[in-house]
Amino acid sequence: MKNQEKQEQIIQTALHLFYERGFKNVSVMDICDACDITKPTFYKYVPSKEEILRHHYRGTLDELSERLRQLDPEPDFWRLIVLGLTFTLRKSVQMGPELYAQYMTLNFKTHTLTARYNSPARDATINSIRKAQENGQIRNMADPVELYLAARNLGLGLALKWCMVRGGYDVVAQTEANLAILFQPDHRRIEQAVADFERVRSR
């Protein structure tokens, strides 16, 4: 088995165990037993079980960047904004509040939270905000970077609340509703842009 395949096997096995038992209830030895490897082999491919959670989220950002790239030239910039600002959150919901809380705790301890704000997906989302403003699809004309950061912080606050209440409400729906309040989308203009795009594409 190639090195990358072995690393992926360890990561996916560990994530499965985290989902099943909870992060704190899974030891490195548990992961080793499930993969039929020794501890030295584990540490050859993965620095720590904590790094597996970080790897998961780095992969999520890469996945988001690819998704946004595939949607170009999407004329519904509001859709792209919402996707860019909720994609990671949707993955967090799949992980469950306990795992997401553990991931956030790791970031707070190592001061790495800001790393989530720097990625091609961030730049693509800011660009969608700018285009939405230029095309009248959103009414909030504040600086696109500041709008993005405000939206990210809004989502982060709702996600942390979701963790504190142990997943007791639909955090994605709540975030989308608050994003609409912040950005003030003009759905009539959005629908017109999509209709015009489809008309041109069908010729």
The whole-number pLDDT of residue 161 equals: 93
Rounded to 5 degrees, φ, ψ at 185 are -65, 145
User: Percentage of the chain with pLDDT > 70?
Assistant: 95
Q: 69-81: per-residue pLDDT in tens?
A: 888 788 999 999 9
DSSP one-letter string for 37-97:
--HHHHHHH-S-HHHHHHHHHHHHHHHHHHHHHHHTT-S-HHHHHHHHHHHHHHHHHHH-H
Tell me the whole-structure pTM to 2 decimals. Answer: 0.84
Determine how many CB atoms are found less than 10 A away from the CB of residue 160: 14
The whole-number pLDDT of residue 1 equals: 55
Q: For tokens 């899974």, name the residue.
A: 26
Of 111-120, 160-169, 173-182, minimum mean pLDDT range? 111-120
The whole-number pLDDT of residue 107 equals: 75
Residue of 113 and 155 predicted with greater confidence: 155
